[in-house]
Chain A
């Protein structure tokens, strides 16, 4: 499998042909292709066992078309390390679709370490979609430290769209100043002996800062999931919510630890967590329409993770 097949797998090939669409494609630790648009700067540096990527959006620049990032590994065994430094200028706006594709992974490790700064009144949306091998021979470590300036908006979604999880260890920390908004969403379904760890932290340190941390996880067979989401609010009128739902089947094991910490009397943070088997009424309704228990369960989980 070469990089072009990889891009086709992610349905990225057409987007990458468009000269008005910015993109960056990295296979293992090599930059394969890059296209930039006015106001967007992408600098890369290939090191021995990693790649450094610096992305900057100039003040006031609104990138109209979604920027495509593709981090792939065509090898069966490999270590991919990507260090990202992202700076979104004041009043700028960018939306990024990132595909992480490891279709042949038997023993692949993907480490992403990102520092992200979203400027005053700027907006950064990051969708991360993973395609893994069917055997789950991969370990994925996405880590991000995000700073939101006044009125900045940050929205991220993490989704495994194909293949087995393997081992996933998400570690995001977001700090928001006055009137900033953070929305973090993770959706993962584990099976076999997959291990899922999600740790997301939101620090609402500015007045009227808002944050929502949402996790949707399903585990079956012998898969294990551990979700630790924490929102701290230390400023007046800060508003936060932690929402975690996990479905377990078979010998799957799930843990959810939603933590809220409020250090200002005018701040307000709520949480909800639910772990359990598939809702009986949902299941039996679909079965009363003729679906088998397995098909009904799959459909309910598909909805939850959609």
Chain B
């Protein structure tokens, strides 16, 4: 039994099945990867688990520690310990890094902000009073997003394309952050189409056309994904390419 389970989870957007009767079990304290080509439904799965606006009209159900999330809003799910790091994090005019992280933090102290910034490789002195706005690079913003998640101390974290828009050195810091989350017992879900990111996980689900076409260890999924999905030849239609 997983800490988070989807049961026959389906979601239609604009009349099209984006998630199609998904049954996934995500185990506590493990790092999972949801992989698949662009348009497979990976981000949609994360948004649906988080309960974002526009992603709530589901069929089937999602259970977190046995509790249905169906009628729970974003903030309620977050209070249960679920959170999401966006592929391209939001920017906030005028809001400082300190304000942003403290808003997320379990322990609302400046020391917490300094600690999590250091953990993602950002000098607190340099960043704490900067605005979370367009003056930050994509990589900096991504690290601040991860810092805010570390400060929150969630039990279930989804990171959407954690390598998107960042350089190799920054990626190492993101990977260190993922390890920290795992070390304190959080369940981590990496939404990715990158083999490098997938290798940070212990298990993977291969999503294609809104369906799970393969699941298992990384050693099992990696060759299949590399061969069948990079590039994707069948436009995410499982019937034409999935096993």
Q: State whether B95 touches A293 (Cβ < 8 A).
A: no
Q: State whether B78 touches A303 (Cβ < 8 A).
A: no
Q: State whether A288 touches B84 (Cβ < 8 A).
A: yes
Q: State whether A299 touches B74 (Cβ < 8 A).
A: no
Binds A, one of B85-93, B164-172, B202-210, B223-231: B85-93
Indicate if B83 sits at the interface (CB-CB under 8 A).
yes
Q: State whether B52 touches A284 (Cβ < 8 A).
A: yes
Q: State whether B78 touches A290 (Cβ < 8 A).
A: yes
Of A287, A300, A302, A304, which one neighbours B78 at CB under 8 angstroms? A287
Min CB distance A274 to B, Å, is: 10
Indicate if A255 sits at the interface (CB-CB under 8 A).
no
Give the distance in Å from the alpha carbon of A306 to the alpha carbon of B133 in the complex: 13
Indicate if A292 sits at the interface (CB-CB under 8 A).
yes
Q: State whether A286 touches B94 (Cβ < 8 A).
A: no
- Residue picked from B73, B78, B99, B152, most chain A C-beta under 10 Å: B78
Contact (A245, B75) CB under 8 Å given A281-B86, A288-B83: no
Of B73, B78, B89, B99, which one neighbours A299 at CB under 8 angstroms? B99
Min CB distance B112 to A, Å, is: 13
Indicate if B16 sits at the interface (CB-CB under 8 A).
no
- Residue picked from A281, A282, A290, A303, most chain B C-beta under 10 Å: A290
Q: State whether A245 touches B93 (Cβ < 8 A).
A: yes
Indicate if B103 sits at the interface (CB-CB under 8 A).
yes
The residues of A that contact B52 with a CB separation of less than 8 Å are 284, 288
Q: State whether B104 touches A299 (Cβ < 8 A).
A: no
Give the distance in Å from the alpha carbon of A279 to the alpha carbon of B53 in the complex: 12
Interface code A263-306, partner B: CB below 8 Å = 1, 0 otherwise? 00000000000000001111011111111110110011011111
Of A245, A287, A295, A302, which one neighbours B95 at CB under 8 angstroms? A302
Q: State whether A289 touches B148 (Cβ < 8 A).
A: yes
Question: How many interface residues does chain B have, given as a range?
Answer: 20 to 34
The residues of A that contact B74 with a CB separation of less than 8 Å are 284, 287-288
Indicate if B240 sits at the interface (CB-CB under 8 A).
no
The residues of A that contact B131 with a CB separation of less than 8 Å are 303
The residues of B that contact A285 with a CB separation of less than 8 Å are 86, 89-90
Give the distance in Å from the alpha carbon of A21 to the alpha carbon of B83 in the complex: 51
Q: State whether A291 touches B75 (Cβ < 8 A).
A: yes
Of B82, B92, B148, which one neighbours A282 at CB under 8 angstroms? B92
Q: State whether B152 touches A290 (Cβ < 8 A).
A: yes
Give the distance in Å from the alpha carbon of A242 to the alpha carbon of B95 in the complex: 21
Min CB distance A272 to B, Å, is: 12
Give the distance in Å from the alpha carbon of A291 to the alpha carbon of B102 in the complex: 11
Min CB distance A216 to B, Å, is: 8
Give the distance in Å from the alpha carbon of A303 to the alpha carbon of B94 in the complex: 4
Give the distance in Å from the alpha carbon of A291 to the alpha carbon of B151 in the complex: 14
The residues of A that contact B94 with a CB separation of less than 8 Å are 216, 302-306
Contact (A282, B90) CB under 8 Å given A299-B99, A303-B99: yes
**Chain B residues packing against A (C-beta within 8 Å):** 50, 52-53, 73-75, 77-79, 82-84, 86, 89-96, 99, 103-104, 131-132, 148-149, 152
**Chain A residues packing against B (C-beta within 8 Å):** 216, 245, 279-282, 284-293, 295-296, 299-300, 302-306
What are 29 residue pairs bridging A and B, where the CB atoms are less than 8 Å apart in the complex?
A245-B93, A282-B91, A282-B92, A284-B50, A284-B52, A284-B53, A285-B89, A285-B90, A287-B73, A287-B78, A288-B50, A288-B74, A288-B75, A289-B78, A289-B103, A290-B79, A290-B152, A291-B78, A291-B103, A292-B75, A299-B99, A299-B103, A300-B92, A300-B95, A302-B95, A303-B94, A303-B131, A304-B94, A306-B94
